[in-house]
Chains A and B, each alone.
Chain A
Amino acid sequence: MTPLRPELQKICGWIEPESRVLDLGCGDGALLEWLQANRNITGYGLDIDPDNVQACLTKKVNIIQADIDVGLSDFDDDSFDYVIMTQALQALQHPNKTLSEMVRVGCKSIVTFPNFGLWKHRLYLATKGRMPVSKNLPAQWYDTQNIHLCTVKDFEIFCKDEALSISKRDFVDYTHQSDSLMRLWPNVFGEIALYEINGQINAK
């Protein structure tokens, strides 16, 4: 089994054993594979990419090939204990709609995203006057898949506006460090934000 990337290891600590889990944009299925082996969870991964789907099959992870942007209408309300979406929020066509669907389908939802309020991005924009490009967000503005980047503050304001409650949050950097600066000023020092949310977003 391949070692999990830092934020996924954190998520594993949040998941109750024997849960029913839906992983949106599950990639190669590493998280579900780990949870199946160590937390005895059941569930499915959703991904659109043929290579990811193939990787999931190899790992014996139940995979449903589907486009998250098309919606989760095939899933009933509260049909999963957890709906997880890691590092996909910023690449969605309508992140608000997907979040709304996640909290409808899952009793709890776990979302992670790169924090665009990170000091490095602020510095890059302030000094160079150009859209930030980094090792972990390497694409240029015109060909990036990350079309809906947000900051920690943006996300929390969204949750407040939509009356979603945040039951857990954490911040890590790409090397799995989670220091006191991050905890103190997450919107400046957190590289990746992790949230567990629940509630219902009323359709508008």
Chain B
Amino acid sequence: MRFDEPLSLECGKTMEQYDIVYETYGTLNAAGDNAVLVCHALSADHHAAGYHSETDKKPGWWDICIGPGKPIDTNRFYVVSPSNLGHCSGSTGPRSIDPKTGKAYGPDFPMVTVKDWVKYQKRLADNLGIKQWAAVAGGSLGGMQALQWAIDYPDFVKHAIMIASAPKLSAQNIAFNAVARQAIMSDPDFHDGRYYDFNVVPAGGLKVARMLGHITYLSDDAMGDKFGRALKGDKLNYDYGVEFEVESYLRYQGESFVNRFDANTYLLMTKALDYFDPALEKDGDLSAILQDIPTKFFLASFTTDWRFSPERSKEIVKALTDAGREVSYLEFESNHGHDAFLVPMKHYLDAFKSYMSNIEIST
């Protein structure tokens, strides 16, 4: 969908015109109150559920949660899943052509924040005739968007669903992002972000960034269970090739990521994560921000997630209970680390489903 109404961004710049690519599942009801906004995290996109073609190896990123009879039941809800501004999957991003120059934006693409995305998603909601989100849902960075929605448009969001999320990044989180960016920016093919002009991509750097990220998505236990010290070959070679299974796995993850993701988008997304701090304007007092919000919250975390650990979710829960807001919080046993929110586990799906099925919508 093309938007010509300028969007002013937190960084001070303005997007004069932009595209939003999105998928929908289910049907919007006459009252326009059964819509659920699904927000993607760092590396996912608008393709949240189902298959595009019979040759697709994998369904959308949250297919375990979206569909008939699933937690976000498409028999009841109308699901809207956009790609965010700055993305590389159809919505306007650094790879898109800047109408002013006729060339790709590259490094000139403005910095976007979670707050900007919420504003941008609101435009989409208004255009689709949605009166109020029955829920805004997401994991990780997606959960942050749900929180920002409740803060910026409290009356537009009945329920905010935040899975494996955090109220802001820790120094360690930012540090990991900084290393990922350095990997990309120090790649000789990066060309200050103008690599499109040279018909190359900073593949090596992006690959390392993804490998690093992937380590933080898994738990030590999960890696241990999956790979242990298993060797790729049948003996040690005493060289710098791929010797251990875990090395091979990470390289594969890195390489497949390079084929589908744009390095400038990765830089932007990590910056959006770093900047996210909705309590900043109240001197870090999240509870003060949430004081008069009617939105009800559902939060969940996973025991072995060390990227956004249960403690991080509990910070949000504490802010909500201090503010006297309605919240439920669940902590699931899982050895899948941060990625657990994408893994089908009975307790997780049952709880999510129970919560969603209690959301009232017009019939």
Contacts and interface: CB of A to CB of B under 8 A. Distances in A.
Interface of A: 20, 42, 44, 50, 53-54, 56-58, 60, 62-66, 74-76, 79
Interface in B114-136: none
Contacts of A62: 326-328
23 contacts: A42-B324, A42-B326, A44-B321, A50-B332, A50-B347, A54-B347, A54-B351, A54-B354, A57-B328, A57-B354, A57-B358, A58-B358, A62-B327, A64-B317, A64-B321, A65-B330, A65-B331, A66-B329, A74-B317, A74-B318, A75-B321, A76-B322, A79-B321
Interface residues of B, number: 19
Nearest to A75: B321
Given A57-B355, A65-B330, 9 more contacts: A20-B324, A44-B327, A50-B332, A54-B351, A57-B354, A60-B358, A65-B329, A74-B314, A74-B317
Contact of A63 (B322, B328, B347, B358): B328
Interface centre among A44, A62, A63, A75 (most CB of B within 10 A): A62
Contacts of A20: 324
Interface in B305-363: 314, 317-318, 321-322, 324, 326-332, 347, 350-351, 354-355, 358
For chain A, what secondary structure do more than half of its interface residues adopt (helix, strand, loop), or is it mixed? mixed
A20 B321 CA distance: 11
A58 to B, nearest CB: 5
Interface of B: 314, 317-318, 321-322, 324, 326-332, 347, 350-351, 354-355, 358
B72 to A, nearest CB: 15
Contact of A64 (B327, B332, B354, B355): B327
Contacts of B318: 74
A26 to B, nearest CB: 12
B70 to A, nearest CB: 16
A66 B301 CA distance: 12
Contacts of B314: 74
Given A74-B317, A75-B321, A54 B350 contact: yes
Contacts of B331: 65-66
Contacts of A54: 347, 350-351, 354
Nearest to B347: A50
Given A57-B354, A74-B314, A79 B322 contact: yes
B78 to A, nearest CB: 22
B361 to A, nearest CB: 15
Nearest to A63: B328
Nearest to A48: B331
A44 B354 CA distance: 17
A64 B328 contact: yes
Contacts of A63: 328-330
B329 A64 contact: yes
Given A42-B326, A62-B326, A64-B329, A74 B355 contact: no
B107 to A, nearest CB: 43
